[in-house]
Amino acid sequence: MLKSEVTNRINQSKIVAVIRGENAEEALAIANASSAGGIDIIELTYTTPSVDDVFKEMASSDAIVGAGTVLDEQTARNAIIHGAKFIVSPHFDSKIAKLCNRYSVLYMPGCMTIKEIVQALEYGCSIIKLFPANAFEPNFIKSIKGPLPNVEVMPTGGINRDNINDWIDAGAFSVGIGSDLTKAYRKNNAAGVTDLAKEYVKAVKER
């Protein structure tokens, strides 16, 4: 899948499921349940033990699967080899940016300041992850787009059903949700995740 196609799908979906599991089995269950509920953009984080196994299991899924919590270029390369269609970091790393540019893979680095965002733009990152988003208000996106109108913003961290549309209405390219899905799984297993994913998708479609 082309980088542009991945970018468009993330924008159309508006929701990225950020999957953090205690182990590969839990991560796979949450990922599949999220996809079943209509969230078809899945970010498998490298905080999950044996996450490579989850990539292998998700290879036949219709969802677009990427890698999160990628801290260095070696991890980024490993993720790409295992089929990651996009790479997400909690920070900006120039070596990861160069690697992703080399393989035409979307890289969304975490940024909190205009200086960091400008640096990311200089390395070809058109979408930045605003992280942690709960340290900001949704209107911060408009503040970013004042001097930097071409940058797209994906807030992650603290996004929930009560504020998701506030962020989207403020101009978010997409949003990342994670802890809600994990909590739903540990409370009601896969069915709870699927039901919650459906609620998120419905909320976005009805806005």
The C-alpha atoms of residue 117 and residue 148 are separated, in whole angstroms, by 9
Q: What is the predicted pLDDT for the residue at 207?
A: 77
Contacts of 44 (CB under 8 A, 6+ apart): 19, 27, 31, 51, 54, 55, 58, 65, 66, 67, 68, 84
Confidence of residue 121 (pLDDT cuts 50, 70, 90): very high
The whole-number average pLDDT for the span 91-105 is 98
Mean of the per-residue pLDDT values for the chain?
96
Instruction: Determine phi and psi for 120, rounding to 5 degrees.
Output: -60, -40
The whole-number average pLDDT for the span 48-72 is 97
187, 202, 197: which is closest to 34 by C-alpha?
197
Confidence of residue 74 (pLDDT cuts 50, 70, 90): very high
Confidence (pTM): 0.96
Is there a catalytic annotation at residue 98?
Answer: no
Peptide bond before 132: cis, by omega within 30 degrees of 0? yes
Q: What percent of the chain clears pLDDT 90, i.e. is strictly above it?
A: 98
Residue 96 clears pLDDT 90, i.e. is over it: yes
The C-alpha atoms of residue 201 and residue 37 are separated, in whole angstroms, by 8
The whole-number average pLDDT for the span 54-65 is 96
Among candidate residues 14, 26, 85, 129, the one labeled active-site is: 129
The C-alpha atoms of residue 194 and residue 82 are separated, in whole angstroms, by 25
Is there a catalytic annotation at residue 122?
Answer: no
Sheet holding 110-111, edge to edge: 110-111, 127-130, 152-155
Among candidate residues 26, 43, 85, 152, the one labeled active-site is: 43
The whole-number average pLDDT for the span 36-65 is 97
The C-alpha atoms of residue 156 and residue 83 are separated, in whole angstroms, by 23
The whole-number average pLDDT for the span 130-142 is 95
Q: What is the predicted pLDDT for the residue at 57?
A: 96
Q: What is the predicted pLDDT for the residue at 206?
A: 85
Confidence of residue 105 (pLDDT cuts 50, 70, 90): very high
